[in-house]
A = this chain, B = another copy of it.
Amino acid sequence: MVDREQDVLRAASMYYLQDMKMEAIAKHLHTSRSTVSRLVKRARDTGLVEISLRPARSRGPGLGQHLASTWGIDAYVVPVPDQAPQVERLEQVALTTARLLSTWFDSNMILGIAWGTTLSAVSRHLPRKPTRGSAVVQLNGAANTRTSGVHYAGDLIAGFGTAFDAHVHHFPVPAFFDYAETKQAMWRERSVRRVLDVQHRADIALFSVGAVAGGVPSHVYSAGYLEPEDIAVLDAEGVVGDVCTVFLRADGTYSDIALNERATGPAPQELRRVPRRVCAVAGDNKVAPLRAALRAGVVTDLVVDEITASRLVAGA
């Protein structure tokens, strides 16, 4: 066979665009129906076929529409069983996010990503969609006192990179500096500025929110990034969670929180320069930080499971 991929394309086109039965396609391609089934599956897996739903804002009333109009965002509410365990909710949200992302991201674009439990789940579900001239950039540092974070955040970013055939830009700094002065100093270094520059040109940012308290603890609070006294200070300040390692209060404010001077992620104000800012959230303990993030205006596209969404609306 001269060109295998050509058949994948033809099969997909005939199947999805022209509603032909696999039987008929098989005859056309001089092969068996089973092979056509496999060709079509392949087309889906390699991201050649994109299946998407129109976002909530253009639809009738409902949870999604409510979120959309209340916050002025596009909301994707993922249906989940009524008492689904947190893990499953996370998994479904991650799957949906992965698909949406792969329909949005394309050649010559730059994707900025944070890291954490949610993002890691997203990366596991990414379909492969080869692009050209695109890049993936890490939005905040990952090193802490115990590890360089290279493996954890590195693998994560690499996952996005290979899914899209994108260049990857790592951000080799700790999640939090110990001294704000070090950050100031580093931010003047050209190696760091290069990464910051790529971040500023990002077309899409993908992140979740971190919760200070509750069920599945965010990496930020559990992996030795913060000292006990830091956490005590956060409590005192009324912090409910973070976006890209920048801490937020319940009302969405974040300036004058001391720790943010030492954080490496983009503050909401900077983040808002990215045209499309996708936030994927699942979990009861993330309701409060999610509301804070919405108030801070950092979200343009929200992917959230039904249960979390209804708690968000209810507790408003």
Contact = CB atoms under 8 A, between A and B. Distances in A.
Interface of A: 3, 5-6, 9-10, 12-14, 16-19, 28, 43, 47-54, 58-62, 64, 78-79, 81, 92, 95-96, 99, 106-107, 129-132
Contact of A10 (B49, B79, B95): B79
A22 to B, nearest CB: 14
**Majority secondary structure, A binding face:** mixed
Given A3-B60, A13-B96, A47-B54, 7 more contacts: A6-B62, A14-B79, A17-B51, A18-B79, A18-B92, A18-B95, A58-B131
Contacts of A6: 60, 62
Nearest to A54: B48
Nearest to A16: B51
Given A17-B53, A132-B58, A81 B28 contact: yes
Return the 5 tightest CB-CB contacts between A and B, nearest first. Answer: A10-B79, A16-B51, A6-B62, A17-B96, A5-B60
Contacts of A131: 58
For this chain, the copies found in one complex come to 2
29 contacts: A6-B60, A6-B62, A9-B59, A9-B64, A10-B79, A12-B53, A13-B53, A16-B51, A16-B53, A17-B51, A17-B53, A17-B96, A17-B99, A18-B78, A18-B95, A18-B96, A19-B95, A28-B81, A48-B53, A48-B54, A48-B59, A50-B53, A50-B54, A51-B51, A54-B129, A58-B106, A58-B107, A58-B130, A58-B131
A78 B3 contact: no
Nearest to A3: B62
Contacts of A9: 53, 59, 62, 64
A93 to B, nearest CB: 10
